[in-house]
């Protein structure tokens, strides 16, 4: 069997993993919860999985944290967030309830004092009259009051809103205001609102849906800075094929850290990966910044501690866990096995091999690249260029046990590092 098992990305041994949930730092550990179908490699059922770490690199074996066990979440414990006050970890999530195929979501609360055992307290917000059953993904914060933002499909417009609710105690929320609306997209999901580098940042998912068949047609993760009301103006967070549902938290060092679901596979692409008995993973943790009106992403500094430089020679082979640093020359190209090639000219073109269609998927951007980092794991690539202004994330289907690196220009502008996990 082909080895696709990741070394430093969060994944599960069985089933399907998707949206990161409840990202938090609690009692000396990093917590990452996530959507998990632990029984099959499809989206038919969801619970909250959990993994923890002390260094953002090495993660504990995933376990189930929130089962679908109550009347208000009987059809799945769906995406949400976490709030830690140092003593208690509060999880807010969407309880999925279906009656004759119709959704009746509840926004629910569960709490823990040890990060292991969670007590459910039921619904803190029921479905408002103005919204359809597409009303989900509460992101809750605690400041002077508790605030919840949530994505919902407006019944009147058939389009997505981001709505804010407030609470004095975190157990019952009331409408406060509409943060932003879409006139183009049928649903807005996975919202996250925070202040960073003296700017207000909103990240969210734009989702095109067929309202007649209730099918998702397309989705993108985007962001806005300071001016938040027009959700259709969101800027792409990632230019690759496999990035969605990002969520952030602040750790004990004050860093704004983000993880996302690293998959937007086609049905045909899923077939091959599902043969492993598990499918999908999360991105590596990234620190966020705002610079010159742009949202900047960088691997957390812990990742750089794994890097050990080795001399680059053209057509060299190295292990699959690696970081490659390039200061590109004009008319230069760089390839990694059959899986990925990057071409630098007046702009940049990246070609990713589609293992299902057996052809290259090509994207181009009219931007000059001054510096690039290429982070590789067994079956993924994450590219950070121009100090995190440009980011590209994609899964790869390994075509060989090792990486074969090849460049069309001299090698003094290329540095290679093996990652010691």
pLDDT digits (tens, 9 = 90+) for 257-272: 999 999 999 999 999 9
Q: What does the block give as tokens for 372?
A: 């690039």
Domains of the chain from N-terminus onward: 15-301 (2.115.10.20), 306-419 (2.60.120.560)
pLDDT at 166 over 90: yes
42 catalytic per annotation: no
Report pLDDT for 353: 98
Starting at the edge strand found earlier in the chain, the sheet holding 187-196 runs: 187-196, 199-210, 215-225, 235-236
- Mean pLDDT, residues 121-137: 98
- Distance, in Å, from the CA atom of 147 to the CA atom of 76, rounded to the nearest integer, reads 24
pLDDT at 1 over 70: no
Report pLDDT for 217: 81
pLDDT band at 310 (very low <50, low <70, confident <90, very high): very high
Report pLDDT for 215: 84
Nearest to 155 by CA among 103, 116, 190: 103
pLDDT digits (tens, 9 = 90+) for 213-226: 888 888 999 999 99
């Amino acid at each position: 069997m082909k080895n696709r098992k990741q070394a430093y990305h969060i994944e599960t041994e069985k089933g399907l993993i998707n949206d990161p949930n409840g990202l938090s730092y609690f009692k000396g550990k990093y917590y990452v919860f996530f959507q998990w179908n632990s029984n099959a490699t499809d989206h038919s059922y969801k619970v909250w999985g959990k993994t923890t770490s002390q260094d953002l690199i090495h993660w504990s074996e995933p376990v189930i944290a929130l089962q679908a066990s109550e009347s208000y979440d009987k059809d799945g414990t769906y995406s949400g967030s976490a709030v830690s006050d140092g003593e208690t970890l509060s999880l807010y999530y969407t309880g999925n309830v279906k009656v004759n195929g119709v959704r009746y979501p509840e926004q629910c609360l569960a709490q823990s004092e040890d990060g292991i055992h969670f007590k459910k307290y039921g619904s803190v917000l029921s479905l408002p009259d103005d919204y359809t059953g597409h009303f989900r993904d509460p992101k809750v914060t605690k400041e002077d009051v508790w605030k919840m933002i949530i994505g919902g499909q407006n019944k009147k417009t058939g389009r997505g809103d981001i709505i804010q609710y407030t609470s004095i105690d975190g157990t019952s929320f009331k409408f406060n205001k509409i943060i932003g609306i879409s006139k183009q997209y049928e649903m807005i999901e996975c919202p996250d609102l925070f202040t960073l580098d003296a700017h207000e940042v909103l990240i969210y998912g734009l989702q095109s849906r067929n309202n007649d068949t209730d099918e998702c047609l397309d989705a993108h993760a985007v962001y806005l800075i300071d001016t938040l009301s027009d959700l259709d103006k969101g800027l792409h967070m990632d230019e690759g094929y496999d990035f969605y549902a990002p969520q952030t938290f602040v750790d004990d060092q004050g860093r704004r850290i983000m993880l996302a679901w690293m998959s937007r596979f086609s049905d045909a692409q899923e077939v091959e990966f599902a043969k492993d008995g598990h499918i999908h993973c999360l991105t590596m943790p990234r620190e966020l910044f705002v610079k010159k009106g742009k949202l900047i992403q960088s691997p957390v500094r812990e990742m750089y501690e794994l890097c050990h430089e080795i001399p680059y020679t053209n057509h060299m082979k190295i292990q699959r866990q690696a970081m490659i640093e390039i200061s590109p020359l004009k008319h230069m190209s760089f390839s990694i096995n059959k899986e990925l090639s990057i071409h630098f000219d007046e702009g940049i073109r990246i070609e990713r091999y589609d293992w299902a269609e057996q052809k290259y998927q090509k994207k181009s951007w009219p931007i000059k690249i001054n510096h690039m980092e290429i982070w590789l794991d067994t079956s993924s690539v994450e590219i950070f260029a121009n100090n995190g202004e440009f980011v590209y994330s994609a899964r790869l289907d390994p075509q060989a046990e090792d990486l074969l690196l090849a460049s069309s220009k001299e090698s003094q502008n290329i540095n290679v590092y093996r990652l010691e996990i």
